[in-house]
Amino acid sequence: MKFGKEFKNQKVPEWIEAYVDYNGLKRILQRFRLLEQTKIPQTPLRSLQQKSTVNRQFSGLNIQHHDLQSRVDIEAQVIATNAVMLGNSRKRYSTKFLLSSEDVIENDILFFHKLDEELNKVNNFYKDKVEEAMKEANLLNRQMDALVALRVKVMNRDSDAPSSLISLSTDIDSSAPSKVTTPSKAGTEAIAEILARVKISNTLENPMSTIRGVLKDSREKDLRFKKQELREVEERLKVAFIEFYQKLHLLKHFSFMNLSAFSKILKKYEKVTSRKATRSYMNMVDESYLGSSEEVIGLLNRVEEIFVKHFSNSNRREGMKLLRPKRKREQHSITFFSGFFSGCSIALLTAIILVIQTKKIDSEETNFNVGTIFPLYSFYAYIVLHMLLYAANIFLWGHFRINYTFIFGFKQGTELGYQEVFLLSNGLAMLALATFLAHLHLKMDPRSQDNLSVEFFPLGLIIILLGMVFCPFNILYRSSRFFLVRCMFRCICAPLYKVTLSDFFLADQLTSQVQAIRSLEYYMCYYIAGDYAQEKDMCHSIDVYNVFYFIVAVIPYWLRFLQCIRRFFEEKDTSQGFNGLRYLSTIIAVVIRTAFELKKTVTWEAFAVVSSVIATLANTYWDIVRDWGLLQRNSKNLFLRDKLVVSNKSVYFLAMVLDVLLRFAWLQLVLTFNIHSLSGIALSTLFSCLEIIRRGMWNFFRLENEHLNNVGKYRAFKSVPLPFLYHDDTDDESDDKDD
C-alpha cells in the first residue's frame, strides 16, 4: 500500500485537519513534473551533485573520501532552516534558499512555504494536545492519591493505623518511581488529610442519584467508607485510565504518522527536483516539539505501571489486555451465512406470495382472514427493514470515515459492523418468514384447522426473539445486545438518567417505529381477548384498545420530550427547550387526532389538520436545519454548510426534498388512516415503511453533522467523569466564575 493511502486511512477522523496536508504537497510536486518536459540547463549545483556521485563510487577504500563525501552532502543542501521563539513559549519554523534567485523557481518557494505552514500547524496542535494530556495526568494523579487513601481506610477501618504498605504518590506525570511509605502516624495523618478534602462526585447516572441530586441540589456526597463505594470508585477510575491510555496512543500515533509524512514528501521532492533538502529540513523537524517530545512515551509507560499495579493485581498480561484497544477480526462465515439467509428469505417470501395467490386466501371459500394475523408478523418486517437500513448506514459511515463508534460510545472491538447487522437482519427475516409460511400452510390444511396450537406460532416467535435479546451467555454479540437493552431502559426511564447521544438517537428511532409498537399492543389483545380462538379481529371493537392504540403512538414522542427537558435543565441549552416544544406539538397532534377518531366531527377534523401541519413543518425544519446543519446562511456551499462529507452536493438537495415529501406522506397517514379494513392495514404498512426509510436517511446526515462538529472541535475522546471531587477544585471553579 502506498504511503499516501495508508496515511489517509490511519488518520484520527476528528483530527484530519491537524495532519500534514500530504496530498496538497504532492500536488505542488506534480507541477515540477510538468516542467521536466522541457530540458533544464545544467547548473553548478547539478555539476556538484554529479561530482559527489563520482566520489561515492571510490569512497569505500579511503576514509578521507568518506569525509569529503559527507562535506559535499552538507554543502549540497539547498535550504537553511530557522526557528524563531515566540512570546508564548512556542517556536515558529521557516526555511530559506541558499541558491541564487535564478536557480529558485516559484514552485520551490511555494512548496517550502506550505511545508513550513504544515510543520507549524502540526507542531502547535501536538503541543496543545500534550499539554492537555499533562493536565489530565495531574488530575488522575490526585484521583489516585484519594483512591489509595480510601482503599486503606476501607480495608483497615477497624484499626488505628494501616496494616500494609501504601502508595501515596503515584506521579503518572513523572518517570520517577512511586514513593512508598511505611505504616506510621505520618501516613495515617496523610490519609486523613486527603480524605477530609475529598467528596464523591455525583454524576447523576442513575435514577437514585438523579433524585438525590434534585432534592439536595448538589452533585457531591460525603464518603461513606464502604466496600461498595470503593468498588464503584475503582471501576470509574479504571475506565478513566483506559480512556486516557487510548488518548496517549492516538497522540503517539499522530506524531509518528506526521513525522513519516514529512520524511516521505521531502524524499519525493529530492527525487523530482534532484536537490538535497531532506537532511536539513528533517533536522529541524526532529528538533521540534513534534519530533523531540518524550512526554507521551513517558506517560504511556507510567500509566501501564500504575494500571497493572492498582487495577489488575500486578498481573501485567491482564492489565495490558484491558488497556490496549481490541481489534475486530473479519470472519468469512459471516459473509457466507449472510448470503445464505438472504437467499432463504427471498425464497420464503416468494413462496408466501404464491400460497396466498394460488390458494385464494381471504376469499369467501376459505373462512380465513389474513388481516387477523398480518399485524402479528408485520412487526418483524418493520424491524428487519430498520436493521437493513442501519447496516447500510454503517457501511456509508465507514466509507466516508464518520467515526460512528466514538459518537455512539461503543466499546472498542465489540461494535457491530455492517456485515454483522446484515447477518442478523437476514436471520430474523428468514425466521419470521418461515414461521409465517408454516402458519399459512397449516391454516389452509383441513386436517389442522381446528388445532389452536397453530395460533401460538407468532407468540412463540416473539418469545424466541426476546430470549435471544436477553440471553445472558456470551453468544450472538452479547456486548451489543446488552448495550441496546441498556439504552432502551434508559429511554424508558427518562428523565431519570443522564441523556447521552445513543439514548436520544435510539428514542428518535422509536418515533419511526410507532406501527411496530402498535403491533405489540395487538399481540396482547390478540391472545388476551381470545381472537386466536375466534379467528376474528375483535380488538378494534374494544374501546380500551382503540384508546391505547393512539396512546402508544404518543409514548416515543413523550420519551423524547422528557429527554429534552432533562438536557434543558442540566445543560442550560435553550435549543433543547425548543426541541422539547417540537415533540410536544407532535404529541398534541396525535392527541387531537385521537379525539377526531372518537368524535368524527368537522371541528375536530379541522383541529387535526392544523395541528398535524404545524407539527410536520416544525419537524421538517428541525431535520434539515438543526439535525443536519443545512440551509446555513453565508455558507461556502450554497444552501448547505461549509463542510461536507459527500463531495456530490446534489445528494444533500435530494435528501432535503425527500425528507419534505416523506414528512408530508406521514401527514397523509395521520389524516386518512383507516384501521377497519385490509386496505387500511396495507396503507398504514406502506407509510410506516416510508417513515422507516426516511429515518434511515436521517440517520446518515444526523451523524455526519455530529461528526463534523467533533472535527471542528478536534473532539476525539469521550469525557469520563472522575469519581473524586476536591474541595479546593470547587473553590477554584467558583473563583473563576466570579472573575
Does residue 395 sit in the same domain as residue 310? no
Boundary residue ending a domain (306, 324, 342): 324
Domain membership of residue 80 (yes or no) is yes
Please indicate, yes or no, whether residues 457 and 413 belong to a single structural domain of this protein.
Answer: yes
User: How do residues 524-539 score in pLDDT, each as one tens digit?
Assistant: 888 887 656 565 567 7
Residues 264 and 344 in one domain: no
Same domain for 294 and 383, yes or no, is no
| Contact indicator for 659, 694 with CB cutoff of 8 Å | yes
- Residue 156 belongs to domain spanning: 1-324
Which residue type, as a one-letter code, is found at position 626?
Answer: R
Q: Is residue 39 part of a domain?
A: yes
Residue 536: predicted pLDDT: 59
Question: Same structural domain for residues 526 and 586?
Answer: yes
Are 314 and 403 members of one domain? no
Return the pLDDT at 60: 43
Domain count, the chain: 2
Angle at 712 (CA atoms; ends 706, 718), nearest 5 degrees:
60
Task: Provide the 8-state DSSP code for 372.
Answer: G
Same domain, 237 and 382: no
The tens digit of pLDDT for each residue in 335-385 reads: 999 999 999 999 999 998 888 877 666 555 555 667 678 888 999 999 999
Q: Supply angle C-alpha 198, 203, 206, rounded to 5.
A: 130
What mean pLDDT do residues 471-490 have?
93
Q: Is residue 739 part of a domain?
A: no
Cα(19)–Cα(640) distance, rounded to whole angstroms?
26
Considering the domain boundaries, does residue 730 fall inside one? no
The total number of residues written for the chain in this structure? 739
Percent of the chain with pLDDT over 70: 79
Based on the domain organization, do 597 and 472 belong to the same domain? yes
**Boundary residue ending a domain (273, 301, 324):** 324
Q: Do 366 and 408 belong to one domain? A: yes
pLDDT of 132 reads 93
Q: What is the pTM of this model?
A: 0.84
For residue 732, tell me if it sits in a domain.
no
Q: Are residues 268 and 342 in the same domain?
A: no
Report the distance separating Cα 733 and Cα 739, nearest Å: 10
CA–CA distance, 349 with 402 (Å, rounded to integer): 35
Q: What is the DSSP string of 54-109?
A: HHHHTGGG-HHHHHHHHHHHHHTB-EEEEEEE-TTS-EEEEEEE-S-TTT--HHHH
Q: Which pLDDT tens digit goes with each residue over 240-272?
A: 999 999 999 999 999 999 999 999 999 999 888
Asked if residue 279 belongs to a domain, the reply is yes
Tell me if 403 is assigned to some domain.
Answer: yes
160 plus 215 within the same structural domain: yes
Task: Indicate whether 311 belongs to any domain.
Answer: yes
120-143 tens-digit pLDDT: 999 999 999 999 999 999 999 999
Which three cell numbers mark 98? 541558499
Domain check: are 343 and 302 in the same one?
Answer: no
Residue where a domain stops, chosen among 292, 324, 356: 324
